[in-house]
Amino acid sequence: MRIWIVNHYADPPDGLATRSFDIAKRLVEKGHPTTIFVCAFSHYHLRPARRLGWRLWRNEDVDGVMFVWIAANPYRGNDWRRVLNMVTFSVLAFLSGLVRNERPDVVVGVSVHPLAALTGYYLARIKRARFFFEVTDLWPQTLIDFGLLREDGRVARAMRRLERYLFHRAERIVMLWRHTDEYVASQGIAPSKILWIPHGVELERYEELEPYQGAPDRPFRIMFLGGFVASNSIDSILDAAVVLAKGGRADIKFLLVGSGQERERLIERARSLNLPNVEFPPAVPKREVGRTMGKADAFIYGLRDLPLYRFGISLNKLTDYLAAGRPIIFFGKSTYDPVRDAQAGFSVPPGDPEVLADAIERLVALTPQERMEMGERGRRYLMEHHNIPRLADRLLEVLATPSPLQGRGSG
């Protein structure tokens, strides 16, 4: 099979969001040429990932996976410039696919924004290929629950219609979220269309990771590694750092590693709170993740208290944490909680810095052997549920077996 993936925010192996590349590389290894259409302006670093000069798109072979870099305007925040970036990418990705001589057998349209997925559907129609809809974020539900859109507003209703349209037209819905049967059914679609393929990791990236000895020394270093965006609730980590600092816990340090639109504000807030126990190392590409994560004694992540997470969570940083074999502190409410399921650390409710700080102190109070066992349980869970070779095989099995629905709506 020849496979095309339209993913506005995909990254090559030296980037942050490498899911599409990681799966594509495995598909290529099994004899299925795979092409990824991706924006040349990086959403994660807010700068060009590739400079195209006067060209509207450019091909690049990356470890056997063909990247088609698409030109689009820069932006700094969630304003009209970002919307223009989305529209520009979608139009040019469609044109670049249209003029390619090859004909794909399968087109996967990836939605963190649905215009990219819609581009994938149109290319599939014109090229007479099968269409799969990969859902990385629930739009517009995510924007509604974050208070950025009114549920009864025109924009939300238009996005809902587009999402429903893509649900109907897709042969299968590749869902990263764990529990979306109810959500999909509410759009008039049979949940049997869903194929759960969550975020995963390539364990070879962690070969440089130092073996975990249970953190017998001090200070105890707790790391956040991911995007500095509102959904990651990093302010709650700073709130817990305040509690610990006031409690005299100079033996606990926070390392907040990453990039994103919230980074400068968070650094300034930590400075204004005079937090000696918080540091902000720069973001690292995926190829250096193992070396960086080796500096952590434990990891931390959390969510805002939103109805959205009744559908579960899909976080690529969580798979990194599990792969590192270290204990994890999670604060949030989600129907899918790998930390709890794997007994790989402590899970606590969101919104209470005292409770979060207490969980951190409980983790620090454990013996090194107890912390090592937590990390080992997490890594075993990862191998079963979030290992890229297994996820790629699951996808390939479905791609190789055409559905009798063949793109018709099942609702």
The predicted-structure confidence for 250-297, as pLDDT tens digits, reads as follows 999 999 998 877 889 999 999 999 999 999 998 877 677 778 889 999
CATH number for the region 3-200+387-399 comes to 3.40.50.2000
203-385 fold: Rossmann fold (3.40.50)
- Give the start-to-end residue ranges of the domains of the chain: 3-200+387-399, 203-385
Q: Compute how many other C-beta atoms are within 10 angstroms of the C-beta atom of residue 158.
A: 12
Q: Are 296 and 222 in contact (CB under 8 A)?
A: yes
Q: What's the whole-model pTM score?
A: 0.84
Question: Phi and psi for 79 in degrees, rounded to 5?
Answer: -125, -165
Looking at residues 97-109, what average pLDDT do you find? 96
pLDDT at 403: 67
Q: Are 140 and 149 in contact (CB under 8 A)?
A: yes
**CATH topology of 3-200+387-399 equal to that of 203-385?**
yes
- 157 burial level (CB within 10 Å; 0-12, 13-18, 19+): middle
Q: Are 42 and 54 in contact (CB under 8 A)?
A: no
Q: What is the mean pLDDT of the chain?
A: 91
Looking at residues 178-197, what average pLDDT do you find? 92
Name the helix (H) or strand (E) containing 60. Answer: strand 57-62
- Examine the pLDDT at 396 and tell me if it is beyond 90: yes
Q: Where are any strands of DSSP class E within 83-207?
A: 106-111, 130-135, 172-175, 194-196
The bridge status of strand 106-111 relative to strand 130-135 is parallel
Q: Are 234 and 304 in contact (CB under 8 A)?
A: no
Beta bridge partners of 65: 62
- Examine the pLDDT at 338 and tell me if it is beyond 80: yes
Reported confidence tier of residue 409, pLDDT bands at 50, 70, 90: very low
Q: Are 401 and 167 in contact (CB under 8 A)?
A: no
Question: Phi and psi for 227 in degrees, rounded to 5?
Answer: -85, 140
Q: Which two tokens stand for residue 160?
A: 């809902």
pLDDT at 112: 82
Beta bridge partners of 194: 173
Looking at residues 310-315, what average pLDDT do you find? 82
Q: Compute how many other C-beta atoms are within 10 angstroms of the C-beta atom of residue 147.
A: 9
With vertex at residue 34, the alpha carbon angle to CA 32 and CA 37, rounded to the nearest 5 degrees, is 165
Looking at residues 3-9, what average pLDDT do you find? 97
Q: Are 57 and 47 in contact (CB under 8 A)?
A: no
DSSP string, 371-392: HHHHHHHHHHHHHHHSBHHHHH
Q: Which two tokens stand for residue 314?
A: 């899909």
Residue 258 three-state SS? strand
